[in-house]
Amino acid sequence: MNAQIELDRDLELARFNMVEQQIRTWDVLDQNVLDLLFTVRREDFVPPQYRTLAFVDMEIPLSANAAADERMLAPKLEARIVQELTIKPTDRILEVGTGSGYMTALLAKRGAHVTSVEINSQLSALAAAKLASHDISNVTLEIGDAARGWESRGPYDVIVLTGSVPVLVDEFQRSLKPGGRLLSIVGEAPVMEARLTTQTGAGAVASVVLFETCIPALRNAPQPERFVF
């Protein structure tokens, strides 16, 4: 019993340190987002063999036949994305790349409904079980390749791509409602840009670069045209 109490204390201390030392220092200051990180237990979404790394500032590999470069985003990036999207309780959200289901859970706790698309059916099944264990039911998980857009259940108030894209296709912008926000990470290694694109009405959009980062690309992400000499 005492050992379990000590383990729980260690987990909560590690979670607290993650928030204070990694996430706050990366300009995530929205208290609602910070509180959410204590509510949704990240360690429950990490593959069991990496559970002790749940609060480390790193990308954690996914299991279930995921590609070698398919990983959970670093905690500070997950939190920053949720903050930048300014999600409202009425928002309907599209997530491209379910992965572990952790980002799905964060989005679902903030918005009205999340449609999350994953190309790997085994990852989607694992995420479904984890979401159910957390009593998160306002999520529809779909299997498919959404790297070039996903019209099912659209248009959306919020769209988030959990993998990078060398080029951002227009289909995502067309799937936004007026006032809708799209967060994407665009470019190629070693430097990519996190962009927030807002649908300003009548098909017009405004885009701002938030910060530079570098994360693995979505599988089958569209490629820029290459010049051949």
CATH code, domain with 125? 3.40.50.150
For the chain, what is the largest distance between any 2 Cα atoms, rounded to a whole number of angstroms? Answer: 70
Pairing of strands 139-143, 156-161: unpaired
The letter for the amino acid at 16 is F
Q: What pLDDT shows up at residue 182?
A: 98
Q: Does residue 209 form part of some domain?
A: yes
Pairing of strands 156-161, 191-201: unpaired
Q: Does residue 219 form part of some domain?
A: no
Residue-number span of the structural domain to which 148 is assigned: 2-213
The letter for the amino acid at 25 is T
Q: Does residue 218 form part of some domain?
A: no
How big is the chain by its Cα radius of gyration, in Å?
17
Cα(187)–Cα(193) distance, integer angstroms: 6
The total number of structural domains in the chain stands at 1
Instruction: Report the sign of the C-alpha dihedral through residues 151, 127, 85, 56, in that order.
Output: negative
Q: Does residue 89 form part of some domain?
A: yes
Q: Does residue 227 form part of some domain?
A: no
Residue recorded with tokens 């995921």: 66
Can you give the pLDDT of all 229 residues of the chain as single tens digits?
A: 577 777 778 889 999 999 999 999 999 999 999 999 999 999 999 999 999 999 999 999 997 666 667 899 999 999 999 999 999 999 999 999 999 999 999 999 999 999 999 999 999 999 999 999 999 999 999 999 999 999 888 899 999 999 999 999 999 999 999 999 999 999 999 999 999 999 998 778 899 999 999 999 999 888 887 655 5
Q: What pLDDT shows up at residue 223?
A: 84
* pTM of model > 0.95: no
Return the ∠ at Cα 79 (arms to 134 and 174), rounded to 5°: 95
Q: What pLDDT shows up at residue 224?
A: 80
